[in-house]
């Protein structure tokens, strides 16, 4: 058997496999070389591209201008009408030469801002490398690497944006600046240019503003504090934020020690100094005023800081604000008038917010407020709100979540906080028992407020106020009456209350609409978004209850704030000292630390705080307590003058019903509920009660009286009349609809119904009754309830035509004359007073007997008063009451002409 030879294809395949196995593998060195060449190519390409882009951006950089380098660039501020109201820049600045700057001050700045300033050429590449790593790790913009030179350039020529173009131009101009000026000159520019706080520029100005000192007189701790301000000028202000300022100062001291500028002992000694020790007083700072609207401008500056633009003012921006100059001037005029305040030192903070938009219209930072007071009572203050918290945390959430009525029954009674023995008391140390939620709120009762919070639950209440801009970490039962963990400023309070007046829509309060950077094109919008914080029924029902706070109801707590002609809702509030504070600080029994009032119309929401600078300087009198109400009234009246102010409009989601107060669950008032128990209250549509209270039965109806019956032969009828004291509607005090049932019972016979009447009389045909003696009965009927019958006796006797007298006599009757003053001459007018109908001597009802039938005859003077029926027409009602003796006859007279006689 011969061996099979491989085919040509198999042979070629085997040969290729052999050659493949024999090829050598590339070495690691060769791979490294390839990668390195690739990276070099990439880096070279990036460098060339970057260099080209850098050159392009640098070519468009502005030229160096020595005036701009040395002086701050002014920023402009515009009101809501677009009118300029403030310019802040180099005003009131103290310029300091380099040789006059203390070495410790220089060391503090360099250790903090640019420790290699005297070594680099405008850019610190060591610091830049660290910043790049931080930006890769934490995102672009996480850390900056600006040198003092770069900061001078940025604040002189460029807008405050972290863009590649700006950074390229900043680097290029920094190199140019370093070549044109000495390090000392650049440091001097920085030292005099930087924003230090609010409208204070330069370290020399800051030394005088904060400490009232020249630079050479500053201590180490003071120098460190000023050096630390530049990074966040307003946040590190020791007047407003001492804790942050102290932390920043200590950081600077630590850096000075780290870089060998001071010893450890010096650092530790400086850290021990109270950060507010040695600060200048208000009077010293007053000279730095840069605006006629300082309190408002302080809020604007704080808002810039809050939005990351705290240093932007040093770059020449335009700030468009919400300022209403008319409202601001009104507030300042009232705040600066000492006659409006009960004591010399009591302070107040006022914030006026647009109810619909949340825009801050005006700010009263304090009495005679000057620029950079350091403490703005309208914006910086964070105090317990007292009872102004009740609609926000208690009743608002209860209506929103539980759909309470304004008539919800709450019992004001002795009660302890849950799990404690601490009794909840009211301001008057009294309790009102079962009352409506409406009264509990307008009379500012504490126990019902705590019960409302308990009912709705702390979690839901916390969520509710969170939608009103109140971020509460913890909520306790004591917060129900504003004495817990939650604190507020007048500005936040005004915005939160505004949501009730804006159908439940809330907007964070804001003072800036937008800013425009130096290029005139780049803008930043500051307008916050609005959000629906509650249902429209909650907003209106709370508003309606708060109307009563400023109304005229007994026990209303805010009547002093009412402005005639304006639809206002509002709430008072006071806070309390702890029980131990009274003995510890020797406080009078009437002492309270804070007094509040927050109120609003459809146009403006205003919140006002009053108190003293020191917490334990107490409010002790009612004049002091009511100060916020009086200020509110003056301000609201003046800013609302000649401005149309619509009333609050009830939404379709709300209905009214008259309930019986104290019922639980609520029931409708009955016709017999006493007026003091009837309340017309508001309900969320669909939750109004339909069951009527049966607590009060109908009172016994009064019995009809003075029942009488008379026969009218001419009309062939019987006239029945009576009197009755109507039952009154408790709500309207008007008579309730009453029906009278009239019947007759013949002696020895059956009762016959004669009919019904809604008036106090009934006329029936005389044919309805047979001859005989009857008892006539009248029964009053109201809503199914019947009275006892009122009765009278009546004799029915048959009468024929022959019995009647002729209609007219053949000859006119001639009356026997009477003596003067016997009232017999006016028989024809007996229908008016009944004085003359029965005075005809012959029963002819006066001289002519006219109309004698209408005389009641109760005061008849005729000798024969009982014969009135013979008159023409007959005097049907002449009764046997003639009482005077006969008069002396006189000569006959002619018949009367119908006009009656005269005296």
Active site (catalytic) residues: 113, 387
Match 């009389």 to its residue by tokens: 761
d(CA 339, CA 764): 78
Contacts of 118 (CB under 8 A, 6+ apart): 183
Match 């510890």 to its residue by tokens: 584
Closest listed residue to residue 823, CA positions, set 842, 839, 841: 839
Closest listed residue to residue 490, CA positions, set 333, 592, 334, 610: 610
Q: How far is CA 446 from the centre of its chain?
A: 19
Closest listed residue to residue 768, CA positions, set 719, 822, 707, 831: 719
Q: Is the CB of residue 184 less than 8 Å from the CB of residue 156?
A: no
How do beta strands 717-723 and 415-416 pair? unpaired
Rounded alpha-carbon distances, angstroms, from residue 105 to 150, 215, 259, 271:
20, 8, 14, 16
Taking the CA atoms of residue 897, residue 900, residue 902 and residue 903 in that order, the dihedral angle to the nearest 10 degrees is 120
Closest listed residue to residue 681, CA positions, set 536, 548, 504: 548
The secondary element (H helix, E strand) that includes residue 256 is: helix 242-258
Closest listed residue to residue 518, CA positions, set 64, 54, 59, 74: 74
Q: Is the CB of residue 361 less than 8 Å from the CB of residue 327?
A: yes
Indicate if the alpha-carbon torsion angle 381, 384, 385, 390 is positive or negative.
positive
Q: What angle do CA 661, 662, 667 make, to 5 degrees?
A: 65
Phi, psi of 668 (to 5 degrees): -70, 145
Q: Is the CB of residue 304 less than 8 Å from the CB of residue 319?
A: yes
Match 């209250």 to its residue by tokens: 681
d(CA 63, CA 786): 104
Q: Is the CB of residue 868 less than 8 Å from the CB of residue 881?
A: no
d(CA 109, CA 230): 9
Contacts of 362 (CB under 8 A, 6+ apart): 296, 323, 324, 327, 328, 330, 331, 350, 351, 352, 639
Closest listed residue to residue 80, CA positions, set 324, 298, 352, 303: 324
d(CA 99, CA 106): 11
Q: Output the six-digit token pair for 661.
A: 């107060």
3-state DSSP of 539-589:
HHHHHHHHHHHCCCCCCCCCHHHCCCCCCCEEEEEECCCCHHHHHHCCCCC
How do beta strands 360-364 and 423-424 pair? unpaired
d(CA 502, CA 64): 52
Closest listed residue to residue 499, CA positions, set 605, 642, 428, 377: 605
Q: Is the CB of residue 652 less than 8 Å from the CB of residue 684?
A: no
């Amino acid at each position: 058997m011969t061996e099979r030879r491989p085919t040509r294809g198999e042979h070629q395949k085997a040969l290729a496999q052999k050659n493949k196995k024999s090829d050598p593998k590339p070495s690691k060195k060769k791979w490294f070389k390839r990668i390195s060449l690739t990276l070099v190519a990439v880096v070279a390409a990036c460098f060339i591209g970057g260099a080209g882009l850098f050159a392009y951006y640098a070519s468009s950089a502005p030229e160096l201008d020595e005036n701009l380098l040395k002086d701050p660039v002014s920023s402009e501020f515009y009101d809501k009408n677009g009118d300029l109201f403030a310019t802040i820049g180099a005003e009131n600045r103290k310029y300091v030469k380099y040789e006059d700057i203390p070495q410790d001050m220089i060391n503090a700045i360099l250790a903090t801002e640019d420790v290699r300033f005297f070594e680099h050429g405008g850019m610190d590449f060591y610091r830049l490398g660290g910043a790049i790593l931080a930006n890769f790790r934490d995102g672009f913009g996480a850390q900056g690497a600006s040198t003092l030179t770069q900061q001078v350039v940025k604040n002189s020529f460029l807008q405050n944006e972290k863009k590649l173009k700006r950074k390229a131009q900043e680097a290029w101009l920094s190199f140019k600046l370093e070549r044109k000026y000495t390090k000392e000159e650049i440091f001097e520019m920085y030292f005099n240019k930087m924003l230090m706080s609010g409208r204070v520029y330069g370290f020399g100005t800051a030394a005088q503003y904060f400490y009232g000192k020249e630079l050479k007189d500053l201590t180490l701790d003071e120098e460190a504090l000023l050096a630390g301000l530049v990074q966040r000028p307003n946040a590190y202000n020791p007047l407003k934020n001492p804790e942050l300022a102290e932390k920043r100062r200590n950081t600077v001291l630590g850096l000075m020690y780290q870089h060998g500028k001071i010893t450890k002992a010096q650092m530790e000694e400086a850290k021990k100094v109270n950060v507010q020790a040695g600060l200048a007083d208000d009077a010293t700072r007053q000279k730095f005023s840069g605006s006629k609207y300082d309190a408002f401008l302080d809020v604007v500056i704080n808002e810039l800081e809050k939005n990351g633009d705290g240093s932007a003012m040093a770059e020449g921006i335009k700030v468009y604000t919400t300022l209403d100059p008319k409202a601001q001037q009104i507030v300042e005029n009232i705040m600066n008038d000492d006659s409006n305040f009960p004591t010399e030192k009591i302070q107040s903070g006022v914030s006026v917010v647009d109810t619909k938009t949340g825009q801050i219209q005006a700010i009263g930072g304090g009495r005679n407020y000057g620029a950079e007071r350091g403490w703005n009572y309208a914006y910086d203050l964070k105090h317990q709100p007292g009872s102004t918290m009740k609609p926000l945390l208690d009743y608002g959430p209860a209506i929103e979540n539980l759909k309470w009525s304004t008539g919800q029954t709450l019992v004001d009674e002795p009660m302890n906080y849950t799990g404690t023995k601490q009794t909840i008391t009211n301001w008057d140390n009294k309790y009102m028992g079962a009352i409506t939620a409406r009264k509990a709120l307008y009379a500012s009762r504490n126990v019902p407020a705590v019960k409302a919070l308990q009912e709705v639950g702390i979690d839901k209440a916390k969520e509710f106020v969170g939608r009103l801009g109140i971020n509460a970490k913890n909520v306790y039962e004591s917060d129900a009456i504003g004495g817990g963990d939650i604190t507020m400023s007048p500005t936040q309070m005004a915005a939160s209350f505004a949501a009730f007046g804006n159908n439940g829509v809330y907007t964070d309060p804001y003072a800036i609409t937008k800013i425009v950077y130096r290029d005139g094109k780049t803008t930043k919008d500051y307008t916050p978004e609005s959000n629906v914080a509650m249902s429209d029924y909650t907003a209106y029902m709370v508003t309606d209850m708060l109307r009563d706070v400023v109304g005229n109801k007994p026990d209303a707590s805010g009547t002093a704030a009412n402005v005639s002609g304006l639809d206002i809702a509002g709430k008072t509030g006071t806070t309390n000292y702890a029980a131990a504070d009274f003995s510890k600080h020797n406080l009078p029994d009437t002492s309270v630390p804070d007094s509040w009032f927050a109120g609003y119309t459809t146009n403006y929401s205003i919140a006002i705080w009053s108190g003293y600078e020191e917490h334990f300087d107490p409010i002790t009198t009612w004049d002091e307590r009511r100060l916020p109400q009086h200020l509110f009234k003056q301000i609201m009246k003046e800013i609302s003058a000649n401005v149309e102010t619509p009333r609050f409009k009830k939404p379709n989601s709300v209905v009214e019903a008259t309930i019986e107060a104290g019922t639980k669950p609520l029931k409708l008032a009955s016709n017999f509920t006493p007026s003091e128990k009837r309340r017309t209250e508001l309900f969320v549509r669909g939750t109004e009660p339909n069951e009527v209270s049966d607590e009060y039965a109908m009172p016994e109806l009064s019995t009809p009286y003075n029942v009488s019956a008379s026969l009218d032969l001419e009309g062939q009828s019987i006239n029945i009349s009576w009197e009755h004291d109507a039952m009154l509607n408790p709500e309207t005090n008007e008579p309730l609809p009453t029906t009278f049932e009239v019947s007759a019972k013949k002696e020895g016979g059956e009762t016959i119904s004669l009919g019904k009447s809604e008036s106090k009389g009934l006329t029936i045909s005389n044919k309805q009754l047979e001859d005989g003696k009857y008892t006539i009965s009248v029964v009053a009927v109201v809503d199914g309830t019947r009275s006892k019958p009122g009765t009278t006796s009546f004799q029915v006797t048959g009468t024929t035509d022959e019995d009647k007298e002729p209609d007219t006599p053949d000859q006119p009757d001639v009356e026997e004359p009477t003596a003067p003053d016997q009232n017999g001459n006016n028989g024809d007018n007996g229908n008016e007073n009944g004085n003359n109908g029965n005075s005809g001597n012959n029963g002819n009802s006066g001289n002519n007997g006219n109309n004698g039938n209408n005389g009641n005859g109760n005061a008849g003077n005729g000798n024969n008063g009982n014969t009135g029926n013979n008159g023409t027409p007959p005097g049907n009602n002449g009764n046997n009451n003639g009482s005077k003796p006969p008069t002396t006859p006189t000569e006959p007279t002619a018949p009367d002409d119908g006009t009656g006689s005269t005296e």
